Amino acid sequence: MNAIKQKYLIKAPIEKVWEALTNEKVINSWGGGPARMDGKKGTRFKFWGGDIFGENTEVVPNKKLVQNWYAGKWDKPSIVTFDLSYKNGVTAVNLTHTDVPGYEAKDIEMGWKDYYMIPLKEFVEKEN
């Protein structure tokens, strides 16, 4: 199993970034939809119509979101953690994705950039 670590700097308030991570209407706007999601612990979510699915296991609004993630026919979940902080008009998002199946790690690492975090960042910065 592999781990992926990425950091994104988003020129927007932390509340806007949090909303883009947890509000299904906003998720649908930046391209992760159709989605089912909210910012509550225990929520079972899905993105891209169910291609990615899982559960929120820890929620600290505007600070931390931890999720069990499944894709395809994985036997066990991988763990995704978003840690957020705000300083001088910029929200930092530290993304950690652990227990990634080795055969998919490279594709998933690129997928975070190409399909998730960069579209989210661009959408939030445009809306800000």
Find the distance separating the first CA and the last CA of the chain, reported in whole Å. Answer: 37
How many structural domains comprise the chain?
A: 1
CATH number of the domain to which 23 belongs:
3.30.530.20
pLDDT at 74: 85
pLDDT at 109: 96
Q: What is the CA radius of gyration of the chain?
A: 14
Number of residues written out for the chain: 128
Sorting pLDDT into bands at 50, 70 and 90, what band is 16? Answer: very high
pLDDT at 6: 98
At a CB cut-off of 8 Å and minimum separation 6, what does 109 contact?
A: 4, 6
Helices 118-127 and 14-22 pack at an angle, to 10 degrees, of 130
Domain span holding position 19: 2-127
Mean pLDDT score of the chain? 96
